[in-house]
Amino acid sequence: MIDIKLIRTNPELVKENIKKKFQDEKLELVDKVIEFDKQCRKAKSDGDDLRNQKNKKSKEFGKYNAILKNGDENAQAEAKESIAKLTAEIEEIDKRRAELEKIESNLNDEIRKIMLVIPNIIDESVPIGKDDSENVEVEKFGEPVVPDFEVPYHVDIMEKVNGIDLDSARDKTSGNGFYYLCGDIAQLQSCILSYARDFMIDKGFTYYIPPFMIRSSVVTGVMSFAEMEGMMYKIEGEDLYLIGTSEHSMIGKFMDTKIPEEELPKTLTSYSPCFRKEVGAHGLEERGVYRIHQFEKQEMIVVCKPEESMDWFKKLYSYTVEFFRTLDIPVRTLECCSGDLADLKVKSIDVEAWSPRQKKYFEVGSCSNLGDAQARRLNIKVKTADKKTYFAHTLNNTVVAPPRMLIAFLENNLNEDGSIRIPQALRPYMRKDVIPVKK
């Protein structure tokens, strides 16, 4: 959510930003906010004038009460009439003030609804494009290799080591978008997450396991309505949603908080299961684990000063690159163009891993700078030494999200006989250097 002062002072900038995101249908919302804001401020001003009138009139009661106590009969009669008149006038003022307060409250609600839909101002460095087909490659890390032998589909790799059971989940317990991991592959996923946890702790981040359900007030604070509808599972009969990522809980932790400036930055890394509807054009794979309803993830979250957020943005996605390279997986960074940015984001970079089977890169993580958008929605402020406050900046980034990351791991560490090599960094966790083929 952007600052309404920006719409008041520079509506053309806000409209130009909407055009850059190819959301022209939202242009009229800027004019609506301006008009509602004028009406709201007038209602407040009129209410303040009435409050002053009431205060002045209220002071007159003392004069008339003194006459009632000490005046002659005629003066007392006139004082009673004046008091009755004053009382009626004040009642009318209170009635009108109540009407104006209701108008002001309703207008503020309407303004907030619209402001939640108007996209955040993107950074000047963001490439302009309509959709993800116009995202821009930034840099490659590691040499993408295609082995001499055929690389099977990731489920076939897992099945060869007795590491997955799709049929039981799909046909018996849960349906499409679910699976059982077992044996060495289940251990591999847990070890990757443990390694990711320790990797981020070594970077100075504080480890968290957050709540896996959050209230609607947090949901609408951390994401746009469109994202919420396409992602979140609602708990029937309760004001609770299953989280789609631990970022939701972690940012919500600071809701209605004034963080002492000297405590910044807050650098947190969190583990959680994640639950997603995965509604959209891609659909769910019948025999894959790329797009699923339930998975686990290690996340990183930063709350910082505005002037430090871009430096942290670069650090965060570089950590993901470093993590994947320690597991011998080639990756590249891809900058999201304006049309591919979610409405709250100022700037975003995806980390993509190399797929030897597909001979192309695919997304395994995303790093986002949200500026002060989430902080405005959730009222997350920073308090300076001289008691002034300002909105914090928030950032989030994926460290690792199995099982999508498992696909890249398996393909890039596959031996010709179907066994899976364990990179050096992971061997202390797996306590073996290879996952053998099972007969």
pLDDT for 127 beyond 60 = yes
- pTM of the predicted structure, to 2 decimals: 0.88
CA torsion sign for 129, 364, 178, 415 is: positive
- The mean of the pLDDT values for the chain is 92
pLDDT computed for residue 279 by the predictor: 52
pLDDT for 230 beyond 80 = no
pLDDT computed for residue 281 by the predictor: 40
Q: Which CATH class is domain 132-435?
A: alpha beta
Q: What would the pLDDT profile of 387-435 be if each residue is shown by its tens digit? A: 999 999 999 999 999 888 999 999 999 999 999 999 999 999 999 999 9
> Rounded to the nearest 5 degrees, what angle is found at the Cα of 232, between the Cα atoms of 18 and 197?
100
Structurally, what CATH architecture does the domain formed by 4-115 represent?
Answer: Orthogonal Bundle (1.10)
Could you report how far apart the first and last alpha carbons of the chain are, in Å?
A: 56
Task: For residue 210, give the nearest of 258, 180, 242 by alpha carbon.
Answer: 242
Domain spans in the chain, listed from the N-terminal domain onward: 4-115, 132-435
Same fold for the domain at 4-115 and the one at 132-435? no
In this prediction, residue 312 has a pLDDT band, given cuts at 50, 70 and 90, of very high
What is the enclosing helix (H) or strand (E) of 86? helix 73-115
> What average pLDDT does this structure show over 317-328?
97
pLDDT for 191 beyond 70 = yes
pLDDT computed for residue 325 by the predictor: 97
> What average pLDDT does this structure show over 286-294?
76
Q: What would the pLDDT profile of 252-285 be if each residue is shown by its tens digit? A: 999 999 999 999 999 999 999 999 887 554 544 5
Count Cβ neighbours within 10 Å for each residue of 245-272 and write b for 16 or more, e otherwise. bbbbbbbbbbbeeebebeebbbbbbbbb
pLDDT computed for residue 283 by the predictor: 47
